[in-house]
Amino acid sequence: MILPGEDASAVAAAVERIRRGGLLGLPTETVYGLAADAANDAAVAAIFAAKGRPADHPLIVHVADAQAATHFTAGVPDFARALMAAFWPGPLTLILPRRPDVAVAAAGGHASVGLRCPSHPVARALLQALAQAGVWGVAAPSANQFGRVSPTTAQHVQGEFGDDLLILDGGPCAGGIESTIIDCTRGRPVLLRPGAITPAQVQAVTALAVVAQDDRQVLSAPAPKASGTLASHYAPRARVRLMDRVALQQALKELSGQRVAVWAHALPDAVPDQVLLRRMPTDPATAARQLFAVLREFDAQGVDQIWVELPPDTPPWAGVRDRLQRAAA
């Protein structure tokens, strides 16, 4: 059931659902989440079951503000505090040492916990109302079946989990790809997942260089196994191929038979009938906003393959490139 997220009565119904250990489709500024009380291990287990997600893959806990985050953390380094002050509410998740015995299931049993304070007004209203009721955070992975394309509308969420799930409608997500994740448990910021907030922005606030998670010279132990960092993820049903502009033009010339969809900056003038064309915006933020909806639309059209022009290897495009590369893996 989809309810308008701006209605106070809908938010009240959502608060009740969460308090009773139920699940909720929640809009955020990045993608829609499948939310449950982060402190209720049975409710969190229902998220893992609904998604078909392995139980040792940690979830992100969403909080109303930095104060609420202290209910989940055990010691927050100064540079992480600076990041909260600069970027919360907003699309930045921080991995921090976890308070023992709190949110064990949400953290997938790890000694750390991922925390984020979303900026979407509906998410904020919900989290503030929950905090007043003594619920300090909701665990919420993206509201899609494990490994599949993340949802950016309430209708996408309904398509994934059916009509029994209560979903707050917050409109299409403005961000479109999941939050940037920074691990703050290693004495310096480590980038686990690229998103709208770039390493340069993190560095500007912390005065610390951001380390890549595969930097074995700096990091001794690898990060825990986590869904968003698996090679294959965010995958539509159709096969995704990434190509540069020249290879894409050549492949279109040689095309025979297959139903193909193309998402590219430069679209060819003449293509066979069975080719579906969508122009990729040249602005990375706009492309990010459209990415998952475009992949879903191509799947709905029943194409065999999705051919995408690989965007430039520059920091503003890192989030979109990362999702595309995992979709194609």
Handedness of CA 165, 169, 173, 178 (dihedral sign): negative
Written as one string, the DSSP assignment of 198-227 is: -HHHHHHHHSSPPEETT-TTT-SSPPPP-G
Cα 236 to Cα 54, 172, 226, 325, distances in angstroms: 20, 19, 19, 12
- Residue 77 backbone phi and psi in degrees, to 5: -65, 155
Work out how close the CB of 132 gets to ligand TXA at its nearest, in angstroms, rounded to a whole number. 21
DSSP element (H, E) containing 270? none
Say which entry of ligand TXA, Mg ion, none residue 152 contacts (CB below 5 to 8 A, set by partner kind): none
- The residue among 123 and 125 lying less far from Mg ion, judged by its C-beta, is 123
Identity of the amino acid at 306: I
- The residue among 30 and 206 lying less far from ligand TXA, judged by its C-beta, is 30
Q: How far apart are CA 131 and CA 39, in angstroms?
A: 12
Say which entry of Mg ion, ligand TXA, none residue 50 contacts (CB below 5 to 8 A, set by partner kind): none
Work out how close the CB of 253 gets to ligand TXA at its nearest, in angstroms, rounded to a whole number. 39
- The residue among 231 and 246 lying less far from ligand TXA, judged by its C-beta, is 231
Work out how close the CB of 68 gets to ligand TXA at its nearest, in angstroms, rounded to a whole number. 15
Q: Which residues bind ligand TXA (CB under 6 A)?
A: 28, 30-31, 33, 57-60, 91, 93, 95, 107, 110, 112-114, 116, 118, 140-142, 178-179, 181, 192-193, 223-224, 226-229
Work out how close the CB of 228 gets to ligand TXA at its nearest, in angstroms, rounded to a whole number. 4
Does 142 participate in binding Mg ion (rule CB under 5 A)?
yes
Say which entry of Mg ion, ligand TXA, none residue 284 contacts (CB below 5 to 8 A, set by partner kind): none
Stretch that binds Mg ion, among 110-118, 119-127, 139-147, 301-309 (CB under 5 A): 139-147
Say which entry of ligand TXA, Mg ion, none residue 112 contacts (CB below 5 to 8 A, set by partner kind): ligand TXA
- The residue among 194 and 236 lying less far from ligand TXA, judged by its C-beta, is 194
Say which entry of Mg ion, ligand TXA, none residue 29 contacts (CB below 5 to 8 A, set by partner kind): none
Does 28 participate in binding Mg ion (rule CB under 5 A)?
no
End-to-end CA distance of the chain: 34
Going by their DSSP bridges, the two strands 211-212 and 190-193 should be labelled as parallel
- For the record, the structure tokens of 156 come out as 């996408």
Residue position matching structure tokens 């998670």: 213
Residue position matching structure tokens 């509410």: 89
Going by their DSSP bridges, the two strands 138-139 and 180-183 should be labelled as unpaired
Cα-only R_g, the chain: 20
Q: How far apart are CA 276 and CA 280, in angstroms?
A: 13
Work out how close the CB of 227 gets to Mg ion at its nearest, in angstroms, rounded to a whole number. 6
Say which entry of Mg ion, ligand TXA, none residue 179 contacts (CB below 5 to 8 A, set by partner kind): ligand TXA
- For Mg ion, the binding residues (CB under 5 A) are 142
